[in-house]
Structure 1
Amino acid sequence: MSALTLRAVSKRYGTVIACDGVDLDIDPGEIHGLLGENGAGKSTLMRILFGLETRDAGTVLRDGEPVRIAGPQDAAALGLGMVHQHFSLIDPLPVWENIILGDTGRIRRAAARAEILAIARRYGLPIDPLAIVGTLSAGERQRVELIKCLRRDPGVLILDEPTSVLTRAESAELFAVLRRVVRSERRAVVLISHKLAEITAATDRVTVLRRGRVVFRSATRDTDVVELARQMVGRDVSLGAEAAALGLLPTGPGTVPDVARQPAMRLRGLVVRPFLNGVDLDVRPGEITGLYGAEGNGQTVLGDVLSGLVVPDTGIVELGGVPVALKRPGALHRAGLGIVPEDRHRAGVVLDLSVAANLVMKDPVVNRRRLRRTAERLAEEFGIVGASLDAPLRTLSGGNQQRVVLARELSAHTKVLVVAQPSHGLDVGAAEDLYARLRSCARDGVAVLLISTEIEEVLGLTDRIAVIASGRIAGELRTADATTERLGLLVGGVAR
């Protein structure tokens, strides 16, 4: 008997059909992969399972019995647990307080900490209950979310893009934990991921959604990434040019950068204690320079500096050979720097403003008709698909939200484009479109800095790679000369 069964589940928003008669069986003792492009219906399906949305039609069965799920408490009572893509942790609080949030009755601190340590040991998820969440790396935060979920002893565990902010080693550790949970305790796991290589390596069965319908299901051993990509986007996808979008390492030699070009951006001696310890980096026009490293080595803070959110303790940023007055709001933008931030919800968009407002928010023009025409032009040029330009941005899929940020930044006569973790949460089709636009930017003479923890992404897109470790550049090499082994040594602080 399946642990969780969906039969003919449908959900409509006005004229948009989000889920169209979805059938799905999740069995105990298996990891089930759920794939689909942004907007395919995955998130709506999960929201229905957790009582955040009400299905229009269909049946949900838990262990063969029909159930009604009116809210998250009902879902928890039925043994459904979920770790969301965007962490729901409170940074100033310690780990143990984050984990017990929502508990009722008297809280015994010592007992709660002991329980958390026991769960951490049981599942091989080491964590310090007293650590402040704001000081943790992305991998450690993922452990906190997982412990928080496992503490409620779910029979069905749903993971939404769990490795989008993890290094390859952290991802391997996570899947080893999941395998132990599935095999020893007969739990059922649903893995939602855009990394097809990850799906084929980690799951037992896979289901693909497209436009709200199930279009493909298979035992994982009976399919491959080529077939899964084709089923997701409804067309053939190149394994060569689009390897990064598939979560695969590229094949063939990379391009050789032109070292004779003068840098469009120079970073010299950037220090933000204790995160950056003297970063020196050149980014040249017509090239994509990759900044690669394990999460938590200063990339996020560097992105905040280039966003204008953080002023460094010391150091300079030069654009076109001219130092930028970093203490002046908007100085980097006026000097020609555009940025697609790591967390677009925190620093890239205003979710409750309209799509149109987000597209033109950096435009100094105040003529409403002209701004509207600009928004319409950008939406068409960048293929931004949504119900309306007047709809709140939060109604768009992740891929379309990313296109809004990219369209806005490139429309401002950008000379240097900084793109941080660009494919996090994006499916194959959306990532493929994004990569094509970044390559086009470089061909047009824009200097592109790609900040990424995805080794496939860095090797597949860049001309040159700088590795950041412990807040400083540990080494730099041409992508044509790079291997996973050489990059791994540099990430570990070993110059080679």
Structure 2
Amino acid sequence: MAPEPAVRLRGITKRYGAVVACDGVDLTLERGEIHGLLGENGAGKSTLMRILLGLETQDSGAIDRDGRAVTIAGPREAAALGISMVHQHFSLVDPLTVWENVALGRSGPVRRAAERAGVRAAAQRYGLAIDPDARVGTLSAGERQRVELLKCLRRDPTVLIMDEPTSVLTRSESAELFTVLRRVVAAEHRAVVLISHKLAEITTATDRVTVMRAGRVVLRRATTATTEAELAREMVGREVTLGAAVGVLPHATAPASPAASAQTALRLRGLTARPGLDDLCLTVHAGEIVGLYGAEGNGQKSLGDVLSGLTVPDAGTVEVAGASVDLRRPGALSAAGLGIVPEDRHHAGVVLDLSVAENLVMTRLGDVSGRVFIDRRRLRRRARALADEYGITAASLDSPLRDLSGGNQQRVVLARELSGRPRVLVAAQPSRGLDVGAVEDLYARLRRCASDGIAVLLISTELEEILALTTRIATIFRGRIVGELPTAQADGERLALLTGGVA
């Protein structure tokens, strides 16, 4: 007889008021397989996995573990059943070291030397280089993702759920991770769920794939029997034209970005911030999309923090439309006409516990205020107009922002920043964690910004994204620009040399 599946979900249904997040979902996870789970933001994937982890309780349906019906009342029960998850958004404690974060939640005595050695061994085994003694608060997004992975893998789960595990990894890091993961899955007979919006990643790394749309399963198939284009179509329910986004089509099919004007909209001179930036200089013209490309951890986060107003650099200047900005003054960059879509929207882009409406207007309160207090009617009218214009889907504009899908949260940030009619838009890793439909909409809006004369600085580690959207590429290495070239002249060899620090 064939062995029982590691996990079988049968007829899982979950409602939130009138919203049906999961509608009779069946999902089978086999040992020794990587199972891809796809769907738009809000399709029900996360709710389904939260039920499997005991973070939510289904309204109806059943869960079998090795052929035996189980009740998962909470995360402890899930852990006891060998079910663990690497979450997309980090759950680390910044003041603690890497090894201390990995050890958190473990029972029994904690021995520093043994924990540090264990982290080093696991990092080497899974190809996730990290210093066990580094403070998490000093790490880049890519390095934090490695810590999250190590934290989960050290628990040795039988069923491993990976939610966008490569969203902040470089292409080579991602390839190495999946090579190791494939070997571990086969040798240790684990069952893995891979949630990813990178379609090329799904078709390359998984054995089977399930696609959800509007809470239901719309496709269930062996990965070798489908294509990236079909998966995109099933996810969104229509044909998708994405150019280079998430590997669906060759980047040559992407619409050309508009030509830049001669007017300098953003000039960065000698920006230095320790650690992170080292005499960085860059110019972006009005109507131009410039890509800042490089391996994760080479100063992109520090630059984003400076342009968000979160960090005052040790040296250097930022000029917007020819005027130098006083970076010591809160709100000065926004007042000068710089809008930003930050790398980590939860950390620097939104306030999750505030309402959708409040997040949409928080940087322009003067537009919705009376003489003394905020005018709630004006606030709601303004928020409704932006929600309609940018296609933001929410049960209510008074709902906490945390209730929205990742794609809708990103639309909130973009709507708020563009509503201020900026001269410059900085978009840092803007498509991270977004589904194919949301990426398509994002790309169209960034191109429209450039057509309207806005200077766009695109900070991204996604090469396909850079090639699809930009007219010029600047490469960053150890906090400084080591080379620039027109996108039309970019090729893999030249970019590899530049991102490796060879000017």
Same fold judged by TM-score > 0.5?
Answer: yes
User: Residue 409 of structure 2 aligns with which residue?
Assistant: 401
- CA deviations on 1:167-223 (whole Å, 9 max, x unpaired) are 101101110111111111111111000000010011111000000000001111111
SS in structure 2 opposite 1:264? strand
SS at match of 2:252: coil
Contact 1:249 1:459 in 2 (8 A): no
What's the secondary structure of 2:485's corresponding residue?
strand
Between 1:131-140 and 1:91-100, the stretch displaced more is 131-140
Q: Counterparts in 2 of 1:59-458, with a 5 A limit? A: 59-238=62-241, 241-246=242-247, 249-251=250-252, 255=256, 258=259, 261-363=262-364, 364-365=366-367, 366-367=369-370, 368=375, 369-458=377-466
Deviations 1:344-392 (A, max 9, x none): 1111111111111111112213042322211111110111110011111
Give the direction of change, closer, same or farther, for the CA distance of 1:259–1:246 in structure 2 (3 Å limit).
Answer: closer
SS at match of 1:294: coil
Q: Is the 1:198–1:247 contact (alpha carbons within 8 Å) kept by the matching residues of 2? A: no
Which residue identity lines up with residue 469 of structure 1 in the other structure? F
Q: Could you tell me whether the CA contact under 8 Å between 1:253 and 1:480 is conserved in 2?
A: no
Q: Structure 2: which amino acid aligns with 1:182? A: V
Partner of 1:42: 45
Deviation at 1:274, TM superposition (A): 2.6
Q: CA RMSD in A?
A: 1.6
- 1:332 is matched by which residue type in structure 2? L
Q: Distance in 1 between matches of 2:85 and 2:169?
A: 18
Task: Name the amino acid aligned to 1:292.
Answer: Y
Q: State the partner residue of 1:489.
A: 497
Give yes or no for contact 1:417–1:448 (8 Å, CA) kept in 2: yes
Segments of 5+ residues of structure 2 without an aligned counterpart are: none
Displacement, 1:89?
A: 1.5
Deviation at 1:481, TM superposition (A): 1.1
Count of residues in Structure 1 that have an aligned counterpart in Structure 2: 493
Question: What TM-score results when the alignment is normalised by the length of structure 2?
Answer: 0.95
For 1:232, give the aligned amino acid: M
CA–CA separation in structure 2 for the residues paired with 1:323 and 1:121: 46
1:105-161 per-residue CA deviation (whole Å, 9 max, x = no partner) reads 322222323333333344444433223223334443333222221222211111000
Taking the aligned partners of 2:289 and 2:260, their CA distance within structure 1 comes to 13
Q: How far apart in 1 are the matches of 2:472 and 2:312?
A: 27
**Secondary structure at 1:490 match in 2:** helix
Q: 2: CA distance between counterparts of 1:70 and 1:469? A: 47
Paired with 2:34 and 2:163, the residues of 1 have a C-alpha distance of 13
Distance verdict in 2 for CA 1:272–1:60, change over 3 Å: same
- Partner Cα distance (2:41, 2:343) in 1: 18
Q: Structure 1: how far apart are the matches of 2:158 and 2:78? A: 11
CA distance in 1, matches of 2:419, 2:141: 32
Q: Equivalent residue for 1:55?
A: 58
Amino acid corresponding to residue 457 of structure 1 in structure 2: E
CA distance in 2, matches of 1:53, 1:398: 19
Closer/same/farther in 2, CA of residues 443 and 206 from structure 1, 3 Å limit: same
Give the secondary structure class of the aligned counterpart of 1:92: coil
- Is the Cα contact below 8 Å between 1:160 and 1:193 reproduced in 2? yes
CA contact (8 A) 2:270 2:316 kept: yes
Structure 2 CA distance, aligned partners of 1:259 and 1:199? 36
Q: CA shift at 1:430, angstroms?
A: 0.7
Deviations 1:429-478 (A, max 9, x none): 11111111111111111111111111011001111111111100011111
Cα deviation code 1:386-419 (max 9, x no counterpart): 0011111111111111111111111112111111
Q: 1:258, 1:69 → 2: CA distance?
A: 56
2-structure distance, mates of 1:407, 1:45: 29
Q: Quick check: 1:12 aligned with 2:15?
A: yes
5+ unaligned residues in a row in structure 1: which ranges? none
**Deviation of the 1:279 alpha carbon:** 1.0
Report the AA paired with residue 216 of structure 1.
L
Shift of 1:79: 0.5
SS of 2:122 mapped into structure 1:
helix
| Alpha carbons 1:26, 1:32 under 8 Å: kept | yes
Closer, same or farther in 2 for the Cα pair 1:114/1:256, shift >3 Å?
closer
CA contact (8 A) 1:18 1:41 kept: yes
Secondary structure class of the residue paired with 1:268:
strand
Tell me: CA distance 1:235–1:468, structure 2 relative to 1, closer, same or farther (3 Å).
same
Measure, in 2, the Cα distance between the counterparts of 1:185 and 1:105. Answer: 26
Quickly say closer, same or farther: Cα 1:9–1:256, change in 2 above 3 A.
closer
Deviation at 1:488, TM superposition (A): 1.4
Percent of matched pairs sharing the same residue: 70
- Cα distance, 1:249 vs. partner? 4.9
Note the alpha carbon deviations across 1:47-91, whole angstroms, 9 max, x for none: 101111010000111111111101111000000011111121222
Q: Give per-residue Cα distances to partners, 1:17-49, cap 9 Å, x unaligned.
A: 000000001100011100000000000011101
